[in-house]
Structure 1
Amino acid sequence: MSDLSVLYATAASIGFFHTILGVDHYLPFVALQKARRWSLGKTLSFTFFCGLGHVFSSVILGVIGIYFGMVLLRLELFEAFRGDMAAWALLVFGFMYFVWGIRRAIVPKDHKHVHAQNPAGITPWVLFIIFVLGPCEPLIPVLMYPAAKINLMGLVGVTLVFCTVTIATMVSAVALLGCGVRMVVLHPFEKYSHALAGFAIFACGFLIKFAGI
């Protein structure tokens, strides 16, 4: 088996396991689907675009680094910094969304400001930005740099395999979990759906930051 074939297989396996083991790649989308009563199609479309932004940002950084001959260690440090910022962003945003969800659930509607800004409306955009900021840690050092040493087509092929498998795994995981969650009836806890979504996002940030997931 050639070195390039090994890299293709590695790209596919890393793309799959990196995504499945990182619950932040799918749990927030399932939580938002339940809280915002999205259709499965809308949820999967949003997941796809977030996944695209997630991998594209690392691809761009890797291409720039390879083109300008940047030292790999510098790119790894920058990717680690991006990952740290994304984790903190999930923590802070998840906590704020959780608090807002609790307040929304317990404060009587008559006491709420009619024209107050609804944080739930900007939640998808914030989550998209966080995913763009979040790195695909193994992509550049494990796949792109070794493939670039072989040839350009190898670099393109390995990158496409990793990105395709990563996004496909994200969408598939959300589809499976989303179908299951749609059958769960919260009833008395329905009013806490936004708070639960905020907690899920916060938990993802916590696991990334403090559990290394």
Structure 2
Amino acid sequence: MAPSDLQTSLLVSLLVGGFVTAFLHAALPTHWLPFVLVGRAQRWNLGTTLASVTAAGLAHIAVTAVVGGLIVMAGLALDQWVTGLLPWLSAGLLFVLGLFYLARATVRKPLPAQGPELETPEQTVSQAAAFWGLVAVMAASPGEVLLPLYLSSAEEGLMVLGLLTLVLAVGTVLGMAVFTTLARAGASILRLERWARYEGAILGLALIGLGLLVVLHQH
């Protein structure tokens, strides 16, 4: 395989892996349960709820991209001192995060036999405050699991980093929208929490797989 073909194959693998990682990360209850509960409290229809999901998801990725950009700048500066360190640092971070999610999924306590009832509380804040409050919560927590992907693409240029950000945004917003919609439609919260439990193991394996791709690319 020609070097250019290998580079393209690695880039496609990283982008596909980034989409899958972002989608799976969005399955965590913190990425959809607040929208279900606040939407019920504010008596939002599905359109308004998904609008808040979209705005919050985009804010989440925007902040992640800013933090990722700073990490890329630091990584490139470090790479000038230790040639070839950047890919190995990226792979190492992917491995560590992957093992962390696998370990957390393994030791997590069993869920109770019955899931929590989703009552409809009384509306206590304005619609705008509820909407932008959700956006602020997501913006204040960049996706730490997505940051090593920026480091993996640091040497590919701004166009690739922009494409990666777009892929992560699509995967995150789509994942948040899917799980929020399922919960609103009456899917059992217990089942979704069980999915989130397995999501940790799947996410861990996906991150380790991405780390292996980076390592293999160095040989």
TM-score category by the smaller chain?
Answer: 0.5 to 0.7
For 1:33, the aligned partner's letter is G
Q: Let me know the Cα RMSD of the aligned residues.
A: 3.5
Rounded to whole Å, the distance in 1 between the matches of 2:17 and 2:155 is 16
Once structures 1 and 2 are overlaid, which stretch shifts more, 3-12 or 143-152? 143-152
Relative to structure 1, the CA distance from residue 149 to residue 125 in structure 2 (aligned partners, 3 Å threshold; closer, same or farther) is same
Find the counterpart in structure 2 of residue 79 from structure 1: none
Contiguous gaps of at least 5 residues in structure 2: 1-5, 79-85, 94-118, 204-219
Asked if the contact 1:40/1:179 (under 8 Å) is kept, the reply is: no
Rounded to whole Å, the distance in 2 between the matches of 1:171 and 1:27 is 11
Compute the displacement of 1:135 (Å). Answer: 1.4
Find the counterpart in structure 1 of residue 136 from structure 2: 129
Find the counterpart in structure 1 of residue 25 from structure 2: 18
2:182 aligned to which of 167, 176, 184? 176
Find the counterpart in structure 1 of residue 65 from structure 2: 59
SS at match of 1:127: helix
For 1:160, the aligned partner's letter is L
Find the counterpart in structure 2 of residue 144 from structure 1: 150
Pairing 1:120–2:128 present: no
Rounded to whole Å, the distance in 2 between the matches of 1:159 and 1:178 is 28
Compute the displacement of 1:119 (Å). Answer: 4.9
2:163 aligned to which of 146, 153, 157? 157
Compute the displacement of 1:37 (Å). Answer: 0.9
Find the counterpart in structure 2 of residue 27 from structure 1: 33
Rounded to whole Å, the distance in 2 between the matches of 1:36 and 1:173 is 19
Rounded to whole Å, the distance in 2 between the matches of 1:12 and 1:178 is 24
Compute the displacement of 1:159 (Å). Answer: 2.2
Rounded to whole Å, the distance in 2 between the matches of 1:44 and 1:174 is 8
Give the alignment's TM-score, normalised by structure 2: 0.56
Asked if the contact 2:67/2:142 (under 8 Å) is kept, the reply is: no
Compute the displacement of 1:12 (Å). Answer: 1.3
Rounded to whole Å, the distance in 2 between the matches of 1:155 and 1:54 is 16
1:36 aligned to which of 32, 42, 46? 42
Rounded to whole Å, the distance in 2 between the matches of 1:123 and 1:41 is 15
Give the alignment's TM-score, normalised by structure 1: 0.58
Rounded to whole Å, the distance in 1 between the matches of 2:61 and 2:145 is 11
Compute the displacement of 1:154 (Å). Answer: 2.3
Residue correspondences, number: 147
Identical residues among aligned pairs (%):
28
Compute the displacement of 1:178 (Å). Answer: 1.6
Compute the displacement of 1:5 (Å). Answer: 1.6
Compute the displacement of 1:66 (Å). Answer: 2.3
Rounded to whole Å, the distance in 2 between the matches of 1:70 and 1:167 is 32
Asked if the contact 1:50/1:131 (under 8 Å) is kept, the reply is: yes
Going by fraction, where is helix more abundant, 1 or 2?
1
Q: Deviations over 1:20-52 (max 9, x none)?
A: 1x1111111111121111111111101110111
Rounded to whole Å, the distance in 1 between the matches of 2:135 and 2:20 is 25
Find the counterpart in structure 2 of residue 8 from structure 1: 15
For 2:68, the aligned partner's letter is G
Contiguous gaps of at least 5 residues in structure 1: 77-100, 106-117, 185-199
